[in-house]
Amino acid sequence: MSNNEHVKVPANLMRRFADDPEQADLEVFGRRSDGDRRGFLRGAGLATMGAMLGAAIPFNRNMPAGFVPEALAQKAMTVDGKDGLTVLNDRPVNAETPPHLLDDDVTPTARHFIRNNGIPPENTSADGWSLTVDGLVNNPMTLSIADLKSKFEVVTERLVVECGGNGRAFFDPPAKGNQWSLGAVACSEWTGVRYSDVLKAAGVKDNVIYTAHVGADSHLSGKDGKLAISRGVPIEKAMNPHNLIAFAMNGKELHPMNGAPLRLVVPGWPGSCSQKWLKRVWLRDVVHDGPKMTGKAYRVPKYPVEAGQKVPKGDFEIIQAMPVKSLITTPQTGIKMSGRSMKVGGHAWAGDGKVSKVDVSIDFGATWQSADLSDPANPYAWQRFGAGITFPMAGYYEVWARATDSEGRSQPFGIAWNPKGYLNNSMHRISVYVS
Identify the burial level of 125 via C-beta atoms within 10 angstroms of its C-beta, where 0-12 means exposed, 13-18 middle and 19 or more buried: exposed
Provide the pLDDT confidence category of residue 143 given band limits of 50, 70 and 90. very high
Look at residue 50 in the predicted model and tell me its pLDDT. Answer: 60
Identify any residues that bridge with 285 across adjacent strands, giving them in sequence order.
Answer: none
Q: What is the DSSP letter of 196?
A: H
User: Mean pLDDT throughout 1-18?
Assistant: 42
For strand 185-194 and strand 154-162, is the pairing parallel, antiparallel, or unpaired?
Answer: antiparallel
Provide the pLDDT confidence category of residue 72 given band limits of 50, 70 and 90. low
Distance, C-alpha 187 to centroid of its chain:
11
Of 105 and 90, the one with more pLDDT: 105
Indicate whether 33 pLDDT > 50: no
Look at residue 346 in the predicted model and tell me its pLDDT. Answer: 98
Provide the pLDDT confidence category of residue 91 given band limits of 50, 70 and 90. confident
Indicate whether 385 pLDDT > 50: yes
The type of residue at 249 is M
CA atoms within 13 A on the CB side of 213: 28
Indicate whether 76 pLDDT > 70: no
Indicate whether 220 pLDDT > 70: yes
Of 46 and 101, the one with more pLDDT: 101
Indicate whether 70 pLDDT > 60: no
- Per-residue pLDDT tens digits for 277-329: 999 999 999 999 999 999 999 999 999 999 999 999 999 999 999 999 999 99
For strand 324-330 and strand 369-370, is the pairing parallel, antiparallel, or unpaired?
Answer: unpaired
Structural element, H or E, at residue 145: helix 145-151
Using DSSP's 3-state secondary structure scheme, residue 385 falls into: strand
Indicate whether 61 pLDDT > 60: yes
Look at residue 19 in the predicted model and tell me its pLDDT. Answer: 60
Q: Which residues are within 8 A (CB) of 306 and not within 5 positions of it... i.e. 6 or more apart?
A: 417
Provide the pLDDT confidence category of residue 420 given band limits of 50, 70 and 90. very high
Distance, CA of 339 to CA of 250 (rounded, Å): 38
CA atoms within 13 A on the CB side of 126: 16
Q: What is the DSSP letter of 40?
A: H
Domains of the chain plus CATH, in order, are 13-64 (no CATH), 109-318 (3.90.420.10), 324-434 (2.60.40.650)
Indicate whether 372 pLDDT > 80: yes
Of 105 and 51, the one with more pLDDT: 105
State in Å, rounded, how far the first CA of the chain is from the last one.
Answer: 38
Most distant CA pair in the chain, distance: 71
- Of the chain, the percentage scoring pLDDT greater than 90 comes to 80
Handedness of CA 9, 12, 15, 20 (dihedral sign): negative
Identify any residues that bridge with 87 across adjacent strands, giving them in sequence order.
Answer: 95
Structural element, H or E, at residue 70: helix 70-73
* Lowest-pLDDT range of 43-52, 133-142, 166-175, 224-233: 43-52
Distance, CA of 383 to CA of 377 (rounded, Å): 8
Per-state percent for the chain, helix, strand, coil, to nearest 5: 15, 30, 50
Provide the pLDDT confidence category of residue 75 given band limits of 50, 70 and 90. very low
Of 336 and 22, the one with more pLDDT: 336
Look at residue 71 in the predicted model and tell me its pLDDT. Answer: 58
Handedness of CA 290, 291, 294, 300 (dihedral sign): negative
Look at residue 112 in the predicted model and tell me its pLDDT. Answer: 98
Indicate whether 26 pLDDT > 70: no
Look at residue 246 in the predicted model and tell me its pLDDT. Answer: 98
**Residue 335 region by backbone torsions, left for phi larger than 0, else alpha for psi between -120 and 50, else beta:** beta
Look at residue 58 in the predicted model and tell me its pLDDT. Answer: 72
Distance, CA of 109 to CA of 116 (rounded, Å): 16
User: Mean pLDDT throughout 47-56?
Assistant: 59
Distance, CA of 124 to CA of 259 (rounded, Å): 8
Are the C-beta atoms of 387 and 344 separated by less than 8 Å? yes
Indicate whether 31 pLDDT > 60: no
CA-angle at 379, arms to 377 and 380, nearest 5°: 100
Beta strands of 30-184 (E only): which ranges?
86-90, 93-96, 114-115, 130-135, 141-144, 154-162
Look at residue 269 in the predicted model and tell me its pLDDT. Answer: 98
How many residues does the structure list for the chain? 435
Identify any residues that bridge with 405 across adjacent strands, giving them in sequence order.
Answer: 355
Q: Which residue from 70, 91, 86, 120 is spatially nearest to 18, judged by alpha carbons?
A: 91
Indicate whether 396 pLDDT > 60: yes
